Structure 1
Amino acid sequence: MTFRHFARRRGAIAVLGVVAALTLGACSSEPTVSASGTEGGGPTSEAPAAKPASLTLTPAAGTEDVAPGKPAKVAVTNGTLTSVTLTNPDGKQVQGQPSADKKSWSTSEDLGYGKTYTWSGQATGEDGKQVPVNGAFTTVDPKRQMAGSLNVGDGQTYGIAMPISLTFPRAVKDKAAVERALSVKTEPETEGSWAWLNGDTSVHWRPKEYFEPGTKVTVDAQLYGVAMGGGTYGRHDVSAKFTIGRSQIVKGNTKEHTMQVVRDGKQVMDFPVSYGLDSDPGRVTHSGVHVVMSKHSTYSMSNPRYNYTDVNVPWAVRISNNGEFIHGLAGSVWAQGKKNISHGCLNLSPANAKKYYDSVLPGDPVEISGSTQQLGSKDGDYSDWTYDWTAWSKLSALSS
């Protein structure tokens, strides 16, 4: 081998050594350093800038004719509320409560009608800067206010057919707005619906089927501040909590001249009865589901059309305000169980009437069958059960 040939060969080996070194460098785990001096060579990320607090007032500052039934609120994003005060025209602070995270504040008492309320306070933003809470709004000064009254009371016990009635002195124009302010809660849960009756002066709630005995019921009408239409607003809220008692159903048949009382599924009374005279539409007892409305140890009966006034009867239980009662009458004992001679009422002997009277709860159903006339919507305030469920549901202002 000549020297020249050997030198070329050594040069080739040297080149291969350089390539190997470059290849090993590509697999190295050592970090690379960019020209800017940062590892990895990527762009530098910056922390987001802290944001100022942003406030939302409800109602907004400058709003007029605010309905006072809903709470006034302040909410903040990108910060927390440091202090909030809402004052009335006399400078009195309205009661309110902040949320646990200090992101909002809400009034906890009703606002008044026709008043201007002023906000004050401040919020602290994420940027550490203060943002003032300020502004004012004015509540509506209504043309008139209207209150509703319930037929049920706190702590009372009612029968399984008891309807809930909310009655107003005048017809309600915006029935949907009023109905949205109403709620009925039951334990156990019970399907039911509201229906507008009596020329839109009352709204009733009844269950689809009779209540289960022992049901706990809470009715709440949040009417204050509700726009009822035509410039009328709700005067105040009303509510009640009551209980449904045992199941007691009267089953009467005008053709058989009988009346049975079924309590919790067992017949506990069976009385002979004289019902209304069948041949006279003005005297016949109506078939259908009546509801006990009230009871009186003595009641004075008058019907000038049939030439009698101030006839006192014992142990009278009103089952409709069309004049139908269950009561005692000694003078018709001879006909009871045999013949219908009354003016629409169910006549019992005074002793039997007393037994029934002592067992009665308002809201007990009285189911009458056999007569030529049917109980209808014009027969009194508690005609709720004369409707089938489909027809009843359609009387809701919120029905689709």
Structure 2
Amino acid sequence: MRSGRRVIGTVATLVAALTLLASCTSEGDDGKSSGPFEKKAPAAKLVFAPEIGAVDVPPTTPVKITVADGELTEAAVANPEGAPLTGQLAEDKKSWTSAEVLGYGKAYTYTVKAKNSEGRVTEKTGAFNTLAPAATPRATINPGDGATVGVGMPVSVKFPEGGPEDKAAVEKALVVETSQPVEGSWAWISDNQVDWRPKEYWPANTQVTVNAKLYGLAYGGGAYGKSDLSTQFSIGRNQVVKINTPDHVMNVYRDGQLFAAYPSSNGDDNDPNLNTPNGTVIVMAKDPVGDFSNPRYGYTNVMKKWAVRISNHGEFIHENNDNAANIGKKNSSHGCVNLLEADAKAYFDSALIGDPVEVTGSRANYPTTSDVFDWLIPWGQWQSMSALN
């Protein structure tokens, strides 16, 4: 009798064990038993930058979608018109990154799908909004693409009146690259203009590239850059004009050697208001015929040939055969450099915008109140005019 009870107890124990084992199993997606310790793969997890719901996103922010525990099967970002933002899916399909900048004041929509290792799909949609600036000032850059300029030519970036508040941020966005080493610096010559010039004249035949990454840049006061700027230009041969006013001659140097000497009549020595002022300026413009009428001094309809502007203060190098009796002998002009017609034509043909003109010997100095006065500023002072110093 005792032996029978032991058999019954053993059978009961076996039934309990089988029942426990059965309770630890589960049905898989295909309805089959998956075993006592097997788990489902985690769902693919999506991460968005900018985040869904983000507002006031800077338009230069890269858009990036990443996935963990899976791979992307669809990644699209659309602008308000439904046009897709261009981008690149990584080879491992773990991320998608935009390849173009965003627009101002726009809503962009995500449509994304990813699957995990078992093929289970995760879908997500959403949107973010870029900032809407109070203003987008348009800047300009000079020299322009393809120009060949003289060795004194500065690079100028100009903004609308008022200029950017955050001048340091603007400077950091400006890059000058040269085909040979050139030491130089940016300087704010006004609230709305920043110039770059070398410490010394440019080396002849230098190739220059300037990039201004201004789009999306915060200028301050709610203003942001309207667009990027760039230019590629060349420095020409080294030509420098040197005028010592009492000598009544204009000397032209090429690569440091005297190239031409032209008799001249410069500004009246006796009146500082009529002097051709001391200082280094540059050739700013050339006109085969210039209008030199000046009612203040009683003459109108005065047209002179081969006019080369060297300042906005009023000085030119030009033909004046009407003053031939004084050319080479006496300074009698109202500040311009008068040459005989043949000499004026020869110089006109040789000059490039940006060629330096160095004037000495006068009683007056050039004022730093009108373009272009970059070379009138000593180098140390020029460097101090950078917003980064």
TM-score between both structures, scaled by the size of structure 1: 0.80
- 1:336 is aligned, of 309, 327, 340, to 327
What letter is aligned with 1:398?
A: L
* 1:358 matched to 2:356: no
CA 1:75–1:391 in 2, change beyond 3 Å: closer, same or farther? farther
Alpha-carbon shift at residue 102 of structure 1 (Å): 5.0
Contact 2:275 2:362 in 1 (8 A): yes
Alpha-carbon shift at residue 124 of structure 1 (Å): 6.1
- 2:374 is aligned, of 384, 391, 397, to 384
Write out per-residue CA displacement over residues 175-220 of structure 1, whole angstroms, 9 at most, x where no aligned residue: 222222222111113222211123x111111112211111111112
CA 1:63–1:253 in 2, change beyond 3 Å: closer, same or farther? same
Larger Rg: 1
Please give the residue correspondences for 1:272-291 in structure 2 after superposition, counting only pairs within 5 Å.
272-291=263-282
* 1:147 matched to 2:138: yes
* 1:192 matched to 2:188: no
Match of 2:146, SS state, is coil
CA 1:208–1:99 in 2, change beyond 3 Å: closer, same or farther? farther
Aligned length: 348
Write out per-residue CA displacement over residues 252-304 of structure 1, whole angstroms, 9 at most, x where no aligned residue: 11121221111123211001111111222321111111111110100101333
Alpha-carbon shift at residue 110 of structure 1 (Å): 2.9
Contact 1:70 1:225 in 2 (8 A): no
What letter is aligned with 2:289?
A: T
Contact 1:258 1:271 in 2 (8 A): yes
Contact 1:67 1:227 in 2 (8 A): no
Match of 1:352, SS state, is helix
CA 1:70–1:282 in 2, change beyond 3 Å: closer, same or farther? farther
Alpha-carbon shift at residue 55 of structure 1 (Å): 5.5
* 1:158 matched to 2:168: no
Distance 1:289 1:270 in 2: 18
Contact 1:154 1:240 in 2 (8 A): yes
CA 1:116–1:280 in 2, change beyond 3 Å: closer, same or farther? same
CA 1:94–1:335 in 2, change beyond 3 Å: closer, same or farther? same
Distance 2:239 2:383 in 1: 25
Q: Which residue of 2 aligns with 1:181?
A: 173
Q: Which residue of 1 aligns with 2:361?
A: 370
Please give the residue correspondences for 1:1-400 in structure 2 after superposition, counting only pairs within 5 Å.
57-75=48-66, 81-99=72-90, 104-122=95-113, 134-172=125-163, 173-198=165-190, 200-378=191-369, 380-399=370-389
CA 1:72–1:343 in 2, change beyond 3 Å: closer, same or farther? farther
TM-score between both structures, scaled by the size of structure 2: 0.82
Write out per-residue CA displacement over residues 332-359 of structure 1, whole angstroms, 9 at most, x where no aligned residue: 2211222111111111111100000000
What letter is aligned with 1:242?
A: F
Alpha-carbon shift at residue 107 of structure 1 (Å): 2.3
CA 1:313–1:143 in 2, change beyond 3 Å: closer, same or farther? same
Query: RMSD in angstroms over aligned alpha carbons?
Result: 2.4
Write out per-residue CA displacement over residues 215-235 of structure 1, whole angstroms, 9 at most, x where no aligned residue: 111112222222222222222
Distance 1:101 1:191 in 2: 45
Contact 2:77 2:85 in 1 (8 A): yes
Match of 1:310, SS state, is coil
Q: Which residue of 2 aligns with 1:37?
A: none
CA 1:132–1:298 in 2, change beyond 3 Å: closer, same or farther? same
CA 1:377–1:58 in 2, change beyond 3 Å: closer, same or farther? farther
Write out per-residue CA displacement over residues 42-78 of structure 1, whole angstroms, 9 at most, x where no aligned residue: xxxxxxxx99876554333322222213433335677
Distance 2:199 2:139 in 1: 24
Alpha-carbon shift at residue 99 of structure 1 (Å): 4.7
CA 1:131–1:207 in 2, change beyond 3 Å: closer, same or farther? farther
Distance 1:78 1:209 in 2: 60
Contact 2:293 2:303 in 1 (8 A): no
Distance 1:136 1:186 in 2: 43
Judge which range, 245-254 or 75-84, deviates more: 75-84
Alpha-carbon shift at residue 313 of structure 1 (Å): 0.7
Distance 1:74 1:115 in 2: 19
Contact 1:84 1:133 in 2 (8 A): no
Match of 1:118, SS state, is strand
Write out per-residue CA displacement over residues 137-190 of structure 1, whole angstroms, 9 at most, x where no aligned residue: 211222222101122111111111111111122222222222222221111132
Distance 2:260 2:127 in 1: 68
Distance 1:274 1:388 in 2: 29
Distance 2:306 2:177 in 1: 34
Write out per-residue CA displacement over residues 306-363 of structure 1, whole angstroms, 9 at most, x where no aligned residue: 2223311100111111111111100122112221111111111111000000001111
CA 1:243–1:121 in 2, change beyond 3 Å: closer, same or farther? same
Match of 1:355, SS state, is helix
Judge which range, 350-359 or 265-274, deviates more: 265-274
Write out per-residue CA displacement over residues 96-127 of structure 1, whole angstroms, 9 at most, x where no aligned residue: 22455655433222322111112232456789
CA 1:228–1:127 in 2, change beyond 3 Å: closer, same or farther? farther
Distance 2:285 2:158 in 1: 17
